[in-house]
Every structure is written in structure tokens, then in C-alpha cells.
């Protein structure tokens, strides 16, 4: 490493930046752990405007934290960052040290030492990424509102719910600079040839295999790849061509698949010609050279936001068939067509099974997810010239001046906050209600999985992506599907029959953040936000009296529903290996914000 590289690697670690990102993450930590009932601070006083002052004790009698926060619905807290203080032996100390906070709370929170050590490693990775983002400069909201889709994508900062939302364990600093989306580097994918005795190509029926690879690679590159195989006395027709992530090749495939490489069942070729841009999920790439071409989703076996990011064979096997089923559903649903919903089809996949790990009974899941690829449709082909694409995650963006992106969009639109919000809810929430109640399908519609289509800064419809890995099936959906189809998918664990995809997947996972930002940054009252949500749901139900039995069975107006404990799932379950994706733990009871208005309506009727 040169002196220049050494200096550059520590550039984000300026003291003021480090303190800022620690304070930001500590505020998030307090809010999320209070929400999940892990942190239980003592209320010391409450002001007339509702501002509450707290003291949080630690494992040490001489150390405690104080802070102030406004209570929000869904047991959420708007923490005032400047109010966070740490006291040790009666003296104020810097609170800007998140690892120290967790160490000081180990006994109070009940954290295993092995788990705590690994968790702090994820905290430090996240803090470095946050420092990098600040040091390189974040785009002001006024400029971001007119930016292109990929520029907005690369300004995002990770899941709002997850404290360690950029853990990326096993990435070193060079990997971070090369592959992290916020580093904004363009990459070329490596291509390998995989023998059909090990690998399977799956695609929707409209795709011809030969034409598909010619379109993705180009005729000239395809000829080059076949020539490489011929030079090795290999029959090109016995192989599939497959892109892989450079990190995965260097860190996993070259060694773990050494036997198959030696036996020419897996043959390295060359890089492709196209330049790609890593998306928020890191392992998915957008084609910059030819934006109309497919996204490419690759396996990359790093631990990030709760799981190792490989590609499950079952997901790869079912994705094209699931795409066809969902597309047929969409095309035959007049309501969804009128709403302009777009599903980005996962149209082709290749899965490659390791000869040893595939024979183990119930191995840790990541050992069968090292090698695979999924091609997904690109959104650009579905939008009109006057429309603009933005990841829905962007609505939670706050720039370095403390200005809100969603507030800026509302200002530029010329609409009132309520008019803009109703357009957004009709574009986003209403299609989800139709998918759930009409078709019994539970997607995972968090901010990174949804692309919003804007016209004149107003959201008018949505694009749904990444559904094969996250889709859940309730009893009605299971009954509709062929048995062999549903066996490959995740069955919804929902004994209470409440619509968790909406109550947790939308309300808790996204609306609790958006409503707080609108109140704080746009002065739009939180209860007014939820009144709009209520109105959209009521209107939808009135428009679909034929679904009344489902509305009653899967009741959106239950008084309470369980909270999802994403952070404490890691803190208390640790880093133990499992045979499948670990189900998140639900507990407690969140008061349903819709009941603020449903109760009033019932009283009026009576």
C-alpha cells in the first residue's frame, strides 16, 4: 500500500465526522431499542409540548445517559440528538461512542460476550461507512430532487430499522471502496462457464436461451467465450455462461469450487463489456452501459443486515415461474392495471450446486448459496419520457443541512402536503391492499424493494421488485398454487390472521419513519398522516364490497399487533448458523394508529 492509499483510507476518520456519525447512530440505537423494549429509560420530566426527558442507567452505577425525545405513534421516539449526554462520576463525557454504549449495557441488556464482540464489529463497519458518506459529501435535497435514478440510489444510507445497516462483515477497506454503493464505482462483472451437469438455467417461457445470452453479452463476446472453451477442448453447448461478483470469485469460488475448476466443470472466462452500478443491496447491479438490459443479482457471501447474502437454490428455481404467475395476475386485474402497478420480473436464473455441500443433510444455509445469478427486468422500459424514477427509500433522506427530501419534493410539486401524501398513498398503499386482499399474496414492500414513479415531483405509481426471495403465502394463496410450486416458497407464520404485510411491513417498517419526518420537517401532524392512511383504506374497502369476508378475516383495524424485533433478533440470538433464513421474532403489542379514527367513525354511526 502506498502512502497515498494509506492516507486516503483514513480520510473519513476525522474527529468531528466520527463524533457526528456516532451521535447519529446512538440516537437511532436509542429509538430502535426503546421501540423493541430492550432499552427502558426512566422518564425524569415532561414539558407542556410533550417533550420527554429520560435517564438511561448502565451496568455501572457511576455511568448513565440522558436525552430528550418526542413520543410518536407505534412506540417510536423522535430523539433530539443534541440532547444526548453521558455522565460518568457526575462529570459530562462525550456520548459519541456507540461501541462503548453497548459494552456499558451488556449486563443490563443481557448480551452474550461472543455476540457483543461480533455486533460491535458490525457497528464499527456501519460507522466507517457513515463517516465515508459524510466525508465525500451528501447531495442537498434541492439538487437531489432533479437527479437521475442512480444518483439518488447511491445517496441512500441503508435500512432505517436496522442499527447495523451497513455491517458488511468480511469486506476489507479495498472491497468497500470497490463495491459499496455509496462508493459509486462502476464495475465489470466476471463471467464463467458452468457445466450443465452442475448448473440449471431457468427462464420465463418467452425467453429463448440462445437469444438471451446474445442480448446480454453481445454476439462478439459470445463468440469469444465459445472460442475459449474450444481451445480447452470443451463442447460449448454443454455449458452455460454466468456472471459472478469479483469479490465472490476471489474470496469463495476460486477455493471452494477448486475441484470443479480443476475438472473443467467451472471455467473462468473474461469480464463482460458492460459497466454496472451496485445497488443498495450490494449484490444487485444496474447496467449503466445499456440501461434497458436486465439487473444482475449475484451471490456475495458477506454478512449484511442480518444474513449472509448468497442466493438460495429454491429462490433461483422458482423465480421465473413466480414471475409468470404474478404477471398473469397483474395483467388480468383491471384495478392493478388502472393503478399502473409494475412488477419487475425475475425472468432468468442459473443455480449451481456444490457437489459436497449439496449432499450434506441440513447444512448451514449459506454453504449452498455460494454460486447463482438472477436476471431482473430493468425499470426504464416501463416509464414515459416525462416520468422520473426514485427508490422509495429516498423519502426518508435528510441532507447535511437537516433538510428533508420528501418536504422538498412536496414544495417543488406545488401541492399541499395532504394532496401530495394522498397521491403517494394511492400509488403505493392501494396496490398493496389489492395484491393482498384480492390475490392473497404477501410481498415485502419496504423502501428498498419499491421504486416510485414521479411526474412533476408527485408519485403517481409504483414499481415492485425483489419479490421471489421475500414473498409469503397465507392459506388462500397456498390453496391457489400447485403443491410443488408452493413448497419452494415461504409460508406465512400468522396464527392471528392479521395482515402483517401491511401492519408490520408498511406501518411499522416504513410509515413510522415517514410520518415522523413529515411532522418534524414539513410541520404536517402525525395524526393527519395516519388519517390519510385510514381514508385510503376505507375508500379501498368501500370500492370492493366483494372482499368483505377477507377484510373481516384479515382485519386491518385490530386494536393492537405484535412488533417485529429486527435488532434484538441479532442481539439475543447471536451469530449462530442455521439451516434456513431465521424468522424474525415478534413480541409485545403496538397500538394500531388506525383505531384513532375507526373508533370515531363507530361512535358517529351509533
Q: What is the pLDDT of residues 21-66, one digit of tens each?
A: 999 999 999 999 999 999 999 999 999 999 999 999 999 999 999 9
Rounded CA gap, 170 and 248, in Å? 11
Nearest 5°: CA angle at 343, between 212 and 410? Answer: 130
* pLDDT value, residue 494: 60
Q: Based on the domain organization, do 310 and 375 belong to the same domain?
A: yes
In a domain, 168, yes or no: no
Domain boundary among 325, 353, 380: 380
Residue 118: give its domain's CATH number.
3.30.310.280
| Mean residue pLDDT across the chain | 93
Whole-number pLDDT of residue 9: 75
Instruction: Summarize the confidence of residues 216-238 as an average pLDDT.
Output: 97
Indicate if the pLDDT at residue 4 is higher than 60: no
Is the predicted pLDDT of residue 121 greater than 70, yes or no?
A: yes
Verify that 393 and 431 share a domain, yes or no. yes
Burial (CB < 10 A; 0-12, 13-18, 19+), residue 418, is middle
Q: Alpha carbon of 576 to those of 163, 310, 377: distances in Å? A: 19, 17, 35
Both 255 and 387 in one domain: the answer is no
In this structure, what CATH number is given to the domain that contains residue 545? Answer: 1.10.510.40
**162 domain-assigned:** no
If asked whether residues 40 and 108 sit together in one domain, one would say yes
Using a 10 angstrom Cβ sphere, with 0-12 exposed, 13-18 middle and 19 or more buried, the burial of residue 415 is middle
Contact 119, 570 (CB under 8 A): yes
DSSP 8-class letter at 418: H
User: Is the predicted pLDDT of residue 1 greater than 60, yes or no?
Assistant: no
State how far the Cα of 536 lies from the Cα of 375, in Å rounded to an integer: 34
169 within some domain: no
pLDDT at 314: 87
pLDDT computed for residue 469 by the predictor: 58
* Residue 164 lies inside a defined structural domain of this protein: no
Among 137, 154, 178, residue at a domain's last position: 137
Looking at residue 578, its pLDDT comes to 85
CA distance 58 to 42: 12
Angle at 94 between CA 90 and CA 95, to 5 degrees: 95
| Cα–Cα distance, 303 to 284 (Å, whole number) | 15
Q: Is the pLDDT of residue 490 over 60?
A: no
Name the more confident of 481 and 109.
Answer: 109
Give the CA radius of gyration of the chain. Answer: 25
Q: How far apart are CA 372 and CA 13, in angstroms?
A: 36
Is 179 or 606 the better-scoring residue by pLDDT?
179
Tell me if 169 sits within 8 A of 121, measured CB to CB. Answer: yes
pLDDT digits (tens, 9 = 90+) for 347-405: 999 999 999 999 999 999 999 999 999 999 999 999 999 999 999 999 999 999 999 99
Give the other-Cβ count within 10 Å of 523's Cβ. Answer: 9
- pLDDT at residue 442, as a whole number: 82
Lookup result for grid cell 434541492: 142
User: Is residue 508 assigned to a domain?
Assistant: yes
pLDDT, tens digit (0-9, with 9 covering 90-100), for 383-392: 999 999 999 9
- How confident is the model at residue 443, as a pLDDT? 84
Contact between residue 435 and residue 339 where contact means Cβ atoms under 8 Å apart: no
In a domain? residue 522: yes
Express each pLDDT in 416-437 by its tens digit: 999 999 999 999 999 999 999 9
The predicted pLDDT at position 202 comes to 97
Stated as kind and residue range, the H or E segment containing 183 is none
Percent of the chain with pLDDT over 70: 92
- 179 belongs to a structural domain: no
- Predicted local distance difference test score (pLDDT) of residue 440: 84
User: Rounded CA gap, 288 and 266, in Å?
Assistant: 28
Residues 249, 233 share a domain:
yes
Domain-terminating residue out of 107, 137, 167 = 137
Structure confidence at residue 282 as a pLDDT band (50, 70, 90): very high
pLDDT at 605 over 70: no
pLDDT confidence of residue 603: 47
Which of 181-190, 404-413, 433-442, 460-469 comes out lowest in average pLDDT? 460-469
Q: How many structural domains are present in the chain?
A: 3
pLDDT attached to residue 325: 87
Helix, strand or coil for residue 588? strand
Q: The domain containing residue 486 runs over which residues?
A: 383-605
Same domain, 480 and 593: yes
Q: Supply the pLDDT for residue 391.
A: 97
Are residue 387 and residue 345 in the same domain, yes or no? no
Predicted local confidence at residue 493, as pLDDT: 56
pLDDT in tens, 181-213: 999 999 999 999 999 999 999 999 999 999 999
pTM of the full structure: 0.95
Residues 500, 398 within the same domain: yes
Q: Is residue 145 part of a domain?
A: no
301 and 233 in one domain?
yes
Q: What is the pLDDT of residues 288-328, one digit of tens each?
A: 999 999 999 999 999 998 899 999 998 899 899 989 988 99
Question: Is 606's pLDDT higher than 80?
Answer: no
Same domain for 342 and 198?
Answer: yes
- pLDDT computed for residue 491 by the predictor: 58
Please name which of 47, 97, 146 lies closest in space to residue 394, comparing C-alpha atoms: 146
481 by Cβ neighbours in 10 Å (0-12 / 13-18 / 19+) ranks as middle
* Pair 431, 486 in one domain: yes
Q: Are residues 258 and 335 in the same domain?
A: yes
Chain centroid to CA 464 = 12
Amino acid at each position: 500500500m502506498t502512502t497515498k492509499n494509506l492516507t486516503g483510507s483514513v480520510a473519513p476518520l476525522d474527529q468531528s465526522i466520527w463524533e457526528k456519525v456516532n451521535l447519529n447512530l446512538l440516537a437511532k440505537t436509542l429509538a430502535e431499542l426503546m421501540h423493541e423494549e430492550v432499552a427502558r429509560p426512566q422518564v425524569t420530566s415532561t414539558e407542556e409540548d410533550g417533550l420527554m426527558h429520560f435517564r438511561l442507567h448502565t451496568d455501572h452505577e457511576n455511568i448513565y445517559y440522558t436525552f430528550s425525545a418526542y413520543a410518536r405513534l407505534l412506540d417510536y421516539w423522535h430523539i433530539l440528538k443534541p440532547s444526548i449526554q453521558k455522565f460518568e462520576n457526575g462529570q459530562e463525557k462525550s456520548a459519541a461512542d456507540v461501541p462503548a454504549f453497548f459494552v456499558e449495557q451488556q449486563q443490563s441488556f443481557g448480551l452474550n460476550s461472543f455476540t457483543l464482540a461480533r455486533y460491535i464489529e458490525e457497528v464499527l463497519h456501519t460507522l466507517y461507512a457513515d463517516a465515508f458518506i459524510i466525508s465525500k459529501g451528501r447531495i442537498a435535497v434541492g439538487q437531489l430532487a432533479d437527479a437521475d435514478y442512480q444518483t439518488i440510489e447511491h445517496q441512500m444510507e441503508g435500512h432505517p430499522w436496522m442499527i447495523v445497516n451497513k455491517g458488511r462483515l468480511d469486506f476489507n477497506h479495498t472491497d468497500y471502496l470497490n463495491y459499496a454503493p455509496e462508493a459509486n464505482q462502476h464495475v465489470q462483472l466476471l463471467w464463467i462457464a458452468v457445466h450443465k451437469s452442475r448448473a440449471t438455467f431457468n427462464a420465463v417461457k418467452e425467453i429463448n436461451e440462445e437469444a438471451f445470452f446474445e442480448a446480454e453479452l453481445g454476439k462478439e463476446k459470445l463468440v469469444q467465450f465459445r472460442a475459449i472453451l474450444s481451445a480447452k477442448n470443451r463442447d460449448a453447448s454443454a455449458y452455460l455462461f454466468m456472471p459472478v461478483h469479483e469479490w465472490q470469485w476471489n474470496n469463495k469460488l476460486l477455493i471452494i469450487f477448486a475441484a470443479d475448476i480443476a475438472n473443467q466443470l467451472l471455467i473462468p472466462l473474461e469480464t463482460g463489456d458492460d459497466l454496472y452500478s451496485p445497488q443498495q443491496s450490494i449484490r444487485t447491479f444496474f447496467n449503466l452501459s445499456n440501461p434497458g438490459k436486465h439487473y444482475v443479482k449475484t451471490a456475495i457471501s458477506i454478512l449484511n443486515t442480518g444474513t449472509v447474502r448468497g442466493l438460495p437454490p429454491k429462490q433461483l428455481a422458482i423465480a421465473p415461474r413466480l414471475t409468470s404467475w404474478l404477471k398473469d395476475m397483474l395483467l388480468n386485474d383491471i384495478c392493478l392495471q388502472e393503478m399502473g402497478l409494475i412488477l419487475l420480473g425475475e425472468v432468468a436464473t442459473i443455480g449451481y450446486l456444490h457437489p459436497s455441500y449439496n449432499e450434506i443433510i441440513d447444512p448451514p444455509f449459506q454453504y449452498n448459496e455460494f454460486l447463482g445469478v438472477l436476471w431482473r427486468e430493468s425499470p426504464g422500459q416501463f416509464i414515459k419520457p416525462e416520468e422520473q424514477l426514485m427508490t422509495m427509500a429516498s423519502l426518508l433522506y435528510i441532507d447535511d443541512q437537516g433538510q428533508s427530501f420528501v418536504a422538498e419534493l412536496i414544495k417543488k410539486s406545488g401541492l399541499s402536503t395532504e394532496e401530495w401524501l394522498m397521491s403517494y398513498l394511492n400509488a403505493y398503499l392501494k396496490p398493496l391492499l389489492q395484491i393482498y386482499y384480492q390475490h392473497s399474496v404477501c410481498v415485502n414492500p419496504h423502501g428498498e424493494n419499491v421504486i416510485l414513479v414521479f411526474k412533476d415531483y408527485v408519485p403517481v405509481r409504483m414499481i415492485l421488485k425483489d419479490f421471489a426471495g421475500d414473498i409469503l403465502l397465507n392459506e388462500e394463496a397456498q390453496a391457489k398454487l400447485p403443491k410443488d410450486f408452493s413448497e419452494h416458497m415461504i409460508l406465512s407464520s400468522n396464527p392471528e390472521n392479521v395482515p402483517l404485510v401491511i401492519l408490520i411491513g408498511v406501518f411499522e417498517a416504513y410509515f413510522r419513519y415517514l410520518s415522523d419526518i413529515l411532522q418534524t420537517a414539513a410541520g404536517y401532524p402525525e395524526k393527519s398522516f395516519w388519517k390519510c392512511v385510514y381514508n385510503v383504506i376505507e375508500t379501498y374497502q368501500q370500492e370492493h364490497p366483494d372482499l368483505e369476508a377477507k377484510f373481516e378475516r384479515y382485519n386491518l383495524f385490530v386494536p393492537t399487533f405484535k412488533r417485529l424485533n429486527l435488532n434484538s433478533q441479532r442481539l439475543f440470538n447471536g451469530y449462530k448458523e442455521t439451516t434456513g433464513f431465521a424468522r424474525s421474532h415478534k413480541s409485545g403489542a403496538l397500538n394500531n394508529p388506525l383505531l384513532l379514527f375507526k373508533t370515531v367513525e363507530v361512535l358517529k354511526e351509533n
